Amino acid sequence: MKWLSMLLIAMSAMCLAQTAKKLSPDELKALLDKKDIFFLDVREPKELDDVGTIKGYVNIPLGQLESRYQELPKDKLIVTACAHGVRASRAAEILEKHGYKTAGACGILEWKAKNYPVVYPKDTVKK
């Protein structure tokens, strides 16, 4: 029975090690202010229209990431984002599996709660 407990502890540690770092809004702001990062929003386009995103974003929904990750630069540190950070963490794991470097995952709703600026894609569409 002791070996089973040890196995479960080891498996839990492995799962935790594969989880992307969750960035707070303040950590994200510091990264955006100081580093040349690539900001990837993995939400659906309607979510960006409704809630907003961060200036300079690129949108590839999580469901398309496995087939589109080659569109991303390998020479930049990537921050992934979604509403709360869950899908963004999954996206970071996918990217790391393919050799990309990620700084972490964040949630746009937390960013907005701190009154940090957002942009709305529908406002930037040329008419």
User: What is the SS3 assignment for 44?
Assistant: coil
- Dist. CA 90–CA 42, nearest whole Å: 10
CA distances from 54 to 9, 12, 16, 98, 100 (A): 38, 33, 28, 25, 21
For the cut 60, the answer to whether the pLDDT of residue 2 exceeds it is no
Query: What is the tens place of the pLDDT at every residue in 38-51?
Result: 999 999 999 999 99
Query: What is the tens place of the pLDDT at every residue in 107-122?
Result: 999 999 999 999 999 7
pTM of the full structure = 0.82
What length is written for the chain?
127
For the cut 90, the answer to whether the pLDDT of residue 3 exceeds it is no
